Amino acid sequence: MVLFDREISLDRRIMTMIKFCVVMLVIMMSGGIATASDNHNGDKHEALCNVLGAAVSIFQNGRGGMELRRALRSAIFGSETSADISTLLAGLPVTHHNPGSRKNWCGTCTHSDSDHYPGKSIPHDLLCLCTIGTNGYPVVSDGSARQLCGRSAMDLGCGGGAAHQCNAGNGAGWSESNSGGNAKEYVEATWKTVVQTCLQKGLKLNLEQARKTLTEQLKPKDGTSPIWARGHSYGCKGEKEDICVNYDSWCDTKEYPQWLKPLKLALETADFANIEVAAAQATTGTTNGNATQVSRVRRGTDTASQITHHSQTAHQQHKTTDTDPISNLFENEDRSIPQHTLWLLFGIFLH
């Protein structure tokens, strides 16, 4: 009997040690507990990034009708005539090599620059949401967040030597007062780490999921404006609490055409049964290795049933992935363990 009790006690100790090791491993892999406040503009970036990915997916597919394709061009390229995704994957467009006042580019449509303003295109709006502001705010200096749009200070240009550090008083970042060549490197860093990632997402998204994403994001259930355009009252100048994009009442005129409204309207009447173009450009590649491969593929021979079959297959694969309990531990943008998961593990350990 005594021997039996000792064996039980030993088993309990072993199980306790195993649970302890699991908890410690999870903490080490997560890098700590991440909260929403650690990732500034995280929810806004996620929504707008998903919209860009969905727009790219539908555009590359070639379906929806000419009205939708015009709206998609405006949303993706800021122009109804541009049509080559590979140009965006190649690097920061020349139109953004000399960033102007952040307030004018991101916060208002009352200035005279009709080429750079909030709502010009989705990539432009992502630059407004995700480029660091004055002195590296909010990821360094007097900011409290560890990330901006899921990216670290290093990812967004605050690194690589003393001349590139983002500290109080050194003029780093993009703001109303710091623009032009001084701001380009930070805008370019955001393009590479944020915008191009969203573009690449669209190349892997099936048509069915892309349509669902656009419908959900462009028409919020609560009937308000999209999440990335809410609650901005400081002008989006790139200063404290001012890293944002604002579609003010002066926007949506013929001088400042917006991408959002035309895309929303075109989506309502889009015809996805037929392809409007004989060929669409399919682009695959990676942005971090500067390797981009572009190929031309014929779309005219695809039938609606083939597209549906591919969508269903991809949807089933996506569903299988979502049910993986291990991969679902890592759902935060910064790959950290969600806080509720850690509390669950601690509960198991203390049981």
* Helix runs in 256-303, H state only: 260-269
pLDDT in tens, 305-348: 344 444 444 444 444 434 333 333 334 434 444 444 444 444 44
Length in residues, the chain: 351
pLDDT in tens, 210-249: 999 999 998 877 667 788 987 666 689 998 778 999 988 7
pLDDT in tens, 135-187: 889 988 666 688 999 999 999 998 755 555 787 667 789 999 889 988 999 99
Global model pTM greater than 0.75: no
Say what the pLDDT of residue 283 is.
Answer: 45
User: Which pair of tokens denotes residue 126?
Assistant: 């992502």
- How does strand 271-275 pair with strand 63-64? antiparallel
How far apart are the C-alpha atoms of 165 and 149, rounded to whole Å? 19
Say what the pLDDT of residue 258 is.
Answer: 92
**Residues facing 279 on adjacent strands:** 298
CA 325 to chain centre: 24
- Which helix (H) or strand (E) segment holds residue 281: the answer is strand 279-286
Domain ranges of the chain: 36-302, 306-351
- How does strand 271-275 pair with strand 279-286? unpaired
**Residues facing 282 on adjacent strands:** 295
Say what the pLDDT of residue 9 is.
Answer: 60
User: Residue 116 in contact with residue 183, Cβ under 8 Å?
Assistant: no
Find the helix packing angle between 66-77 and 260-269, rounded to 10°.
150
Question: Which of the 8 DSSP states describes residue 226?
Answer: -
Name every residue whose Cβ is closer than 8 Å to that of residue 143 and which is 6 or more positions away in sequence.
Answer: 40, 136, 137
DSSP line for 135-187: GGTTTSTT---SEETTB-TTTTT--SSGGG---TTS--S--SSS-THHHHHHH
User: Residue 102 in contact with residue 128, Cβ under 8 Å?
Assistant: yes
- Cα–Cα–Cα angle for 42, 75, 106, rounded to 5 degrees: 55
Q: How many other C-beta atoms lie within 10 A of the C-beta of residue 109?
A: 22
Find the helix packing angle between 66-77 and 42-61, rounded to 10°.
140
